[in-house]
Chains A and B, each alone.
Chain A
Amino acid sequence: MESNEEDFVFYGTPIEREEDTSSRKRKVIAAAGNLRSLPAWKQEVTDEEGRRRFHGAFTGGFSAGYYNTAGSKEGWRPQTFTSSRKNRAEVNKQSIYNFLDEDDIKDMGGQPLETSLKFDTFGFTATEVARKQAERELKNRSSTIPGPVPDELVVPASSSIGAKLLLKMGWRRGHSIKETQATSLHDARREARKALLAFSVNDGGKSLSHTEINQSDTGDSTGKENESTFSSQSTPSFVLNPKLDLYGLGYDPFKHAPEFQERKMLHESRSNLGVKRSVLMKGGHLPQNSGKYAPGFGIGALEELDVEDEDIYTSDLGLLGTEIEEDEPSRIITIDDKLTLEGTKKGLLGFKVASSSDYTLKRFQPPTIPPDYKPVHKFTSPLETMETFLEQPPPEVPPPEDGNSRLLIEGFANLVARCGRLFEDLSKEKNKSNPLFSFLIGGSGHGYYARKLWEAKSRRSDQGKTVSVEPAISDQRMTAGTRGKILGERPLERSSNESPKSANTTPVVHFQSNLSDTFTNSAALADSSECPKPFKEDPPKQTRFELFLKEKYQGGLRTTSYSGADKLSEAERARERLDFESAAETITKEKWNKKDGLQTIRQNIEFSRYGDEHFVSGLTHGSSQDDVKLADKILPKREEFQWRPSPLLCKRFDIVDPFMGKPPPAPRPRSKMEALAFTTDSIMDAKNEAIITGNQKSSSSAANKDSSANSISEAQGDMKLAAEQPNTDPSTSVARPVDLYKAIFSDDSDDDGDDELNFSSEVEPEKASKGANTTLNRLIAGDFLESLGKELGLEVPEAPSFLDKANSTRLASSTHVKPAPALETEHLNDKEARLHESRIPETAGAGSPIKACNSRARTASIFSGDHIRDADKKERKHSRKHRSRSSNRRSGSETDSSSGRGYHDRSRSEKKASESKREHKKRVEKHEKRKKSGSCSRYSSYGSDSEDDGRRIGKSGDRRRHSSGSKSGGGRKHR
Chain B
Amino acid sequence: MSITELDDSMVHSMAVGAAFTDYGGSITSLDFHRTEDLLVTASEDDSVRLYSIVDATLLKTMYHKKHGTDRICFTHHPSSIICSSRYNLETTNESLRYLSMYDNRCLRYFKGHKKRVVSLCMSPIDDSFMSGSIDHSVRIWDLRVNACQGILRLRGRPTVAYDQQGLVFAVAMEGGAIKLFDSRSYDKGPFDTFLVGGDTAEVCDIKFSNDGKSMLLSTTSNNVYILDAYCGDKRCGFSLEPSPSLTTEATFTPDGKYVISGSGDGTLHAWNVYMRNEVACWNSYIGSTACLKWAPRRAMFAAASTALTFWIPNHSKLNDSAGAED
Contact = CB atoms under 8 A, between A and B. Distances in A.
B167 A651 contact: yes
B195 A730 contact: yes
A944 B176 contact: yes
A777 to B, nearest CB: 7
B193 A802 contact: no
Contact of A153 (B56, B173, B175, B299): B299
Q: Interface extent on A, as a size class?
A: 35 or more
A733 to B, nearest CB: 6
Contact of B239 (A142, A777, A944, A961): A961
A776 B177 contact: yes
Interface stretch (A401-409, A479-487, A865-873, A947-955): A947-955
Contacts of A141: 37, 54
B221 A975 contact: yes
A776 B234 contact: no
A146 B254 contact: no
Contact of A946 (B4, B197, B298): B197
A941 B155 CA distance: 11
Contacts, number: 187
B300 to A, nearest CB: 6
Interface stretch (A15-23, A218-226, A262-270, A641-649): A641-649
Contacts of B19: none
Given A149-B3, A153-B6, A955-B198, A648 B230 contact: yes
Contact of A651 (B54, B182, B193, B300): B182
Nearest to B37: A141
B236 interface: yes
Contacts of B297: 150-154
Interface in B148-192: 155-156, 165, 167-168, 173-177, 180, 182, 191-192
A663 interface: no
B60 interface: no
B199 interface: yes
Q: Is the interface of B mostly helix, strand, loop or mixed?
A: loop
B174 A776 contact: yes
Contacts of B237: 802-803, 953-954, 957
B197 A947 contact: yes
Interface string A943-975: 111111011111101101100000000011011
Contacts of B313: 146-147
Given A142-B55, A954-B225, A147 B236 contact: no
Given A776-B174, A943-B174, A957-B239, A150 B4 contact: yes
Interface string B19-63: 000000000000000000100000000000000011110000000
B1 interface: yes
User: Which residue, of A731, A779, A943, has the highest number of chain B Cβ atoms within 10 A?
Assistant: A943
A654 interface: yes
Contacts of B173: 775-776
Interface string B221-255: 10101000111111011110010100000000111
B28 to A, nearest CB: 23
A294 interface: no
A777 B234 contact: no
A950 B182 contact: no
B212 interface: yes
A951 B17 CA distance: 38
A647 B167 CA distance: 12
B216 to A, nearest CB: 15
Nearest to A945: B197
B301 to A, nearest CB: 12
A762 interface: no
A950 B3 contact: no
A650 to B, nearest CB: 8
B174 A948 contact: no
Contacts of B242: 972, 975
A945 B223 contact: no
A817 to B, nearest CB: 14
B229 A648 contact: yes
A229 interface: no
B195 A948 contact: yes
A775 B156 CA distance: 10
Interface string A128-166: 000000000000011111111111111000000000000
22 contacts: A141-B54, A149-B300, A153-B3, A153-B298, A154-B297, A646-B192, A648-B168, A648-B191, A652-B168, A730-B194, A733-B195, A734-B177, A776-B156, A776-B175, A945-B195, A945-B197, A951-B196, A952-B198, A953-B198, A954-B234, A955-B198, A972-B221
